[in-house]
Amino acid sequence: MTVRIVLGAQFGDEAKGKIADFLAGTARIVVRSGGGPNTGHTVVLPEGPVVLHQLACGVLRHGVTAISGPGMVLQPFKLEDELRALDERGLHRGEVVLSDRAHVILPAHELEDVWEDELRSQSDPAAALGTTKSGIGPAYADRYARWGIRLTDLSRPGALRERLGLLYATKSHLPGLPPLEEVVSRLAEVGGRLAPMIRPTEPILWDALARGESILLEGAQSALLDIDFGTYPYVTSSHPTSAGALVGSGIPPTELDEVIGVAKAYSTRVGAGPYPTEDTGERGEFLRRVGGERGATTGRARRCGWLDLVLLRYVARLNGLTSLAITKVDVLGGLDEIPVCVSYRMPDGTIVRDAPPTRADDLARAEPVYENLPGWPELHERAKERLRREGGAALPSALVRFLDFITQATDVPVRYVGYGAHRDETVDLGPTAPRARRSPLAAWSG
């Protein structure tokens, strides 16, 4: 039995869906622990690509239970559309369970999301956060303000009407609010259709642990977008960290075995916020074009740049990473040199190697210090076929050095390497010896 967490180790869009789907092949249960329809996890199957927004990737595998966990905020009408699309393609293979504790994204939340970002940009266009306008932030805000509606409430129209009336009293400033009774009716109807899937999910997980079954916790977003530890205020509204995955699922920390951080061989970011290694020139455009860097949910072009080891070291320490998955190494194939950021030079001349500045405006002024590593050949189909047959032994020597450089810089072994978009284009380099625990903050430069 293993309990694993797979989470994003950059600004999101690291191909977490691909790695989570790969790991789901040995799991009995996969739990999406946070976020909502603002995320898009892309899995490329033989039948074609699939983008999952609110469902755990276990839905694509026979014999696997896919849980949308209590830490999520769910838009039930979009969720029905997602299920319907899988059914129509014959790809709804696993069992879907929705936590009765998950919160509901309401039409009012989507309106509020647009209204809030417009309000931010009125005085300064740069102040807009660039959210997906999916209602995520307002839904989480109401969750913590205790105005929220949960999936369990949808089966009780009387209580639903009462709670929604209270919530509506806080939304009178929003233009275009749909009538309360209309929303109550629609929510009750969709709740009835989803009812067979809605149940308490903690007992399901605890029973699975007692039976020794393997569980995968699939994080959404990324650790650098964490509401507390990310580049605030340019963050999401939940905790896409290893600690957040445990809270968002109901699994005790004592049961955790592995934490796998997913990072691209370069980096990307969608929306506003500081991004020290962004490349706005021809090389950044190369990464965008060859990497197909557009958001799976919004279709927006991603900002592109280079691997940032300052931020990756921070994420590794914050989340207790036990291994790394480095994806999209094929995108860099054929380049003579690969820039890697090893430290920052701050405006006062100080050098930062481990802990990024807390303030977003300070991080925006950080000058990346690069080390150029030798590039590796293009990974044509023949090279990919060798990787399928021979595994890690077929990795180009320069790529192996690149991966070793990451391991040495982060003190976290690279175990998984993604060399293409398809499900089978992932190499498992095998387990490594457990790391000796560091003395508390002993080697941390701060």
The residues spanned by each domain of the chain are 3-73+207-428, 103-195
How far apart CA 393 and CA 378 sit, in angstroms, is: 17
Q: How far apart are the first and last CA of the chain?
A: 36
Which range, of 171-180, 235-244, 432-441, averages the lowest pLDDT?
Answer: 432-441
Whether 157 has a pLDDT exceeding 50, the answer reads yes
Structure tokens at 284: 């950044």
Burial 417-429 (b: 16+ CB within 10 A, else e): bbbbbbeebbbeb
What's CA 316's distance to the chain center, in Å? 15
pLDDT for the residue numbered 434: 52
- Is 41 part of the annotated catalytic residue set? yes
Per-residue pLDDT of 240-283, as tens digits, reads 999 999 999 999 999 999 999 999 999 999 988 999 999 999 99
CA distance 170 to 173: 8
Residue 440's pLDDT band (boundaries 50, 70, 90)? very low
Provide the token pair at 392: 């890690």
Give the pLDDT band of residue 436 (cuts 50, 70, 90).
very low
Distance CA(332)–CA(284), nearest Å, equals 12
Residues 6+ apart with CB under 8 A from 389: none
Q: At what angle do helices 136-145 and 107-123 cross, to 10 degrees?
A: 110
Which residues, other chains included, contact 106 with Cβ-Cβ below 8 Å and sequence gap of 6+? 135, 139, 149, 164, 167, 183, 187
CA distances, 177 to each of 77, 115, 154 (Å): 17, 12, 20
The three-class DSSP label of residue 340 is strand
Q: Which of 8, 52, 6 is nearest to 222 (CA)?
A: 8
State the DSSP H helix or E strand holding residue 65, giving kind and residue range, or none if neither. strand 65-68
Residue type, 257: D
Q: How confident is the model at residue 84 (pLDDT cuts 50, 70, 90)?
A: very high
Q: Confidence class of residue 365 from pLDDT cuts 50, 70 and 90?
A: very high
The two structure tokens encoding residue 145: 């303000």
- Between 135 and 446, name the one with better pLDDT: 135
Domains 3-73+207-428 and 103-195 share a fold: no
Mean pLDDT of 308-337: 98
* 343 compared with 120, residue with greater pLDDT: 343
pLDDT at 442: 41
336 catalytic residue (yes or no): no
Please report which confidence band the pLDDT of residue 217 belongs to, taking 50, 70 and 90 as the band edges: very high
What pLDDT score was predicted for residue 298? 65
Let me know: does 177 contact 171? Beta carbons within 8 Å: yes
Whether the per-residue pLDDT at 39 is higher than 60: the answer is yes
Under the banding of pLDDT at 50, 70 and 90, the label for residue 350 is very high
CA 401/CA 375 separation, integer angstroms: 10
Taken in order 274, 279, 280, 286, the sign of the CA dihedral is negative
Q: Mean pLDDT, to the nearest integer, of 51-71?
A: 97
Instruction: Read off the amino acid at residue 360.
Output: A
| pLDDT at residue 441 tops 60 | no
Alpha helical stretches, state H, 292-427: 309-319, 360-364, 381-390, 397-410
The structure tokens listed for 143 are 């969750």
CA distance 90 to 441: 50
Average pLDDT over residues 127-149: 89
What pLDDT is attached to residue 235? Answer: 94
In this predicted structure, the answer to whether residue 435 has a pLDDT above a threshold of 80 is no
Q: How high is the pLDDT of residue 271?
A: 86
- In sequence order, what are the beta bridge partners of 325? 262, 416
Residue 313 confidence (pLDDT) above 80: yes
Catalytic residue among 41, 92, 109, 239: 41
CATH number, domain 3-73+207-428: 3.90.170.10
Alpha helix locations (H) across 211-308?
Answer: 242-247, 282-291
Whole-number pLDDT of residue 236: 93
Architecture of domain 103-195: Orthogonal Bundle (1.10)
Please tell me the predicted confidence (pLDDT) of residue 439: 39
What is the average pLDDT score of the chain? 93
433 — pLDDT class (breaks 50, 70, 90): low
